């Protein structure tokens, strides 16, 4: 019996250690208690220890990837897929123009899904966390995959890929700048000259942050990792997460105060102003991006990032745009609707007046629409192409006072006859007063009606009302 127990102990020694680490205080205490109860026994009941380990929950070492998707470590494959689709719609960069971290968050979301949707990768992550994936975890190239998605070490979630000396980012940070434009700007094009401020590598220390040959020392707080562990409660167990080291700001090393560059104060970069030209081309669209390559922030050892202008079009008082087409509403008089017109109907976005002549003997009805071919928006990157301009007519009726200036019989003789009464007449006819009203008043009593309905529902919920006492 003892020999079998010794072999069992040797085979499961790593499992015992691993479970003890993963379950924290709870697992360690239960294991020690079981061993202590049998201490001194001639044949310790190792089977009891094994049974305890099997019954205990096996939570993930880390939960960052689950947190990104907003799911628990016990989520099913279907729940992972649904959570990813929902988050992808919410976090798509096109829907979060004003968030400078939108692109990074979206990439992190993709990396989390790529890992957790693959059973083998998920098992490695649950067993050993990001470090297990970084080291390969039986899957070649995982270090490159996560370095690609969590560029820069993923400090927002505490991920680390080799410390400060092996950051995998390709460029400095991009800067996203929302820029308001008018429809006229997008129709005619416009050139902007702007003064921008960015982070530039310090010219004194050449990006080292140090005086002369001074070297930074390993951060004592995080032991050079750039992060510190933090335990959070996840139901019945403790989950370990990583947070950016506040002492070294995630770098993993720190300069002494006396060794820091006088100009950049050890930050390695300084603020620098520069003048940039932004060209808004005719036909560009709302939310379209203009990229100034290399005009963004610099970091030591990396090419500078980009400045990305995101065009945000303001609503126009006269025109509505859809793709390369324009839509406008035009008011004409009753006489123009009946007998035609030949005049300037709209002033275009480039200042031109657009004159239109209606066909002879053509009656225009309220909300009739015409199209002016080639008078829409320029097609971007196609100088000789334009969309169409659609005009919808609104007919202005004359004021009541106009009838006092004319002989009523004269226009009646020119207009089509009035409609006759319906035939046959309904059996019952009521006479109602003609009262002018505001259409906004329509449905004003709906809230009161809904309150009455709610009261009725409450009565139903608590059963029929008791009969009222009747006076004798």
Q: Give the other-Cβ count within 10 Å of 12's Cβ.
A: 16
Between β-strands 378-379 and 369-372, what pairing exists: parallel, antiparallel or unpaired? Answer: unpaired
CA torsion through residues 154, 155, 159, 161, sign: positive
pTM over 0.75: no
Of 66-80, 226-240, 306-320, 326-340, least confident by mean pLDDT is 226-240
Distance, in Å, from the CA atom of 194 to the CA atom of 229, rounded to the nearest integer, reads: 44
pLDDT tens digits for range 393-427: 999 999 988 888 888 778 778 788 878 888 898 99
CA–CA gap between residue 73 and residue 65 (Å, rounded): 9
The yes-or-no verdict on residue 114 having pLDDT over 60 is: yes
* Confidence band for 449, pLDDT divided at 50, 70 and 90: low
Domain extents in the chain: 2-55, 319-402
Tracing tokens 């002033």 back to the chain, one arrives at: 347
The DSSP bridge partners found for residue 396 are: 333
Percent over 90 (pLDDT), the chain: 37
Q: Is the peptide bond before 424 cis (omega within 30 degrees of 0)?
A: yes
Is 420:410 a contact under the CB 8 Å cutoff?
no
CA 400 to chain centre: 54
CATH classification for the domain delimited by 319-402, as one of 2.60.260.20, 3.30.420.10, 2.102.10.10, 3.30.413.10:
2.60.260.20
Question: Can you read off the two tokens belonging to residue 332?
Answer: 């004409």
Task: List, in order, residues 6 or more apart from 210 with CB less than 8 Å away.
Answer: 216, 255, 259, 260, 261, 266
Report the mean per-residue pLDDT for the chain. 77
User: Mapping DSSP to helix (H, G, I), strand (E, B) and coil, where does residue 171 land?
Assistant: coil
Nearest by Cα to 324 from 383, 286, 241, 380: 380
Least confident piece of the model among 84-98, 138-152, 234-248, 385-399? 138-152
Alpha carbon 39 to chain centroid, angstroms: 59
Can you give the pLDDT at residue 28? 37
- pLDDT of the residue at 232: 66
pLDDT recorded at residue 361: 92
Ramachandran bin of 66, using left for φ above 0, alpha for ψ from -120 to 50, beta for the remaining angles:
alpha
3-class SS at 270? strand
Quickly state the pLDDT bin for 380 (edges 50, 70, 90): very high
Q: How far apart are CA 469 and CA 201, in angstroms?
A: 89
Spatial CA neighbour of 90 closest among 147, 99, 62: 99
341: CB partners within 8 A, 6+ apart: 332, 356, 357, 358
């Amino acid at each position: 019996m003892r020999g079998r127990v010794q072999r069992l102990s040797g085979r499961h020694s790593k499992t015992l250690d691993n479970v003890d680490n993963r379950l924290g205080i709870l697992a360690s205490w239960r294991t020690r208690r079981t061993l202590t109860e049998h201490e001194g026994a001639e044949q310790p009941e190792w089977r009891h220890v094994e049974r305890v380990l099997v019954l205990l929950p096996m939570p993930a070492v880390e939960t960052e990837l689950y947190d990104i998707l907003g799911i628990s470590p016990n989520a099913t494959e279907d729940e992972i897929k649904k959570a990813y689709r929902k988050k992808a719609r919410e976090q798509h960069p096109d829907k979060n123009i004003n968030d400078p971290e939108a692109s990074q968050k979206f990439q992190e979301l993709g990396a989390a899904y790529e890992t957790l949707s693959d059973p083998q990768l998920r098992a490695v992550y649950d067993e050993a966390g990001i470090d297990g994936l970084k080291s390969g975890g039986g899957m070649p190239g995982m270090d490159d995959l996560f370095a690609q998605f969590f560029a820069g070490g993923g400090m927002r979630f505490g991920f680390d890929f080799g410390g400060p000396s092996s950051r995998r980012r390709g460029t400095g940070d991009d800067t996203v700048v929302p820029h308001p434009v008018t429809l006229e700007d997008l129709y005619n094009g416009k050139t902007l000259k702007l003064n921008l401020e960015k982070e530039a590598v310090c010219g004194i220390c050449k990006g080292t942050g140090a005086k002369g040959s001074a070297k930074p020392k390993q951060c004592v707080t995080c032991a050079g990792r750039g992060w510190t562990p933090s335990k959070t409660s996840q139901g019945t167990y403790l989950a370990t997460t990583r947070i950016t080291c506040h002492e070294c700001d995630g770098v993993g090393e720190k300069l002494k105060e006396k060794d820091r560059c006088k100009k950049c104060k050890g930050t390695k970069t300084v603020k620098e102003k520069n003048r940039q030209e932004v060209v808004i081309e005719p036909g560009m669209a709302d939310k379209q991006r203009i990229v100034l390559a290399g005009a963004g922030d610099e970091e030591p050892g990396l090419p500078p990032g980009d400045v990305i202008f995101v065009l945000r079009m303001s609503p126009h008082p006269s025109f509505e745009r859809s793709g390369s087409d324009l839509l406008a509403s035009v008011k004409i008089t009753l006489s123009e609707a009946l007998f035609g017109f030949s005049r300037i109907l709209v002033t275009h976005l480039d200042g031109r007046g657009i004159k239109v002549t209606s066909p002879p003997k053509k009656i225009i009805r309220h909300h009739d629409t015409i199209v002016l071919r080639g008078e829409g928006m320029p097609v971007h990157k196609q100088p000789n192409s334009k969309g169409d301009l659609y005009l919808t007519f609104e007919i202005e009726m004359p004021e009541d006072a106009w009838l006092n200036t004319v002989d009523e019989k004269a226009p009646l003789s020119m207009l089509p006859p009035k409609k006759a009464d319906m035939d046959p007449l309904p059996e019952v006819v009521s006479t109602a007063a003609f009262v002018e009203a505001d259409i906004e008043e329509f449905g004003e009593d709906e809230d009161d009606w809904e309150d009455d309905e709610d009261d009725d529902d409450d009565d139903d919920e608590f059963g029929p009302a008791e009969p009222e006492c009747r006076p004798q």
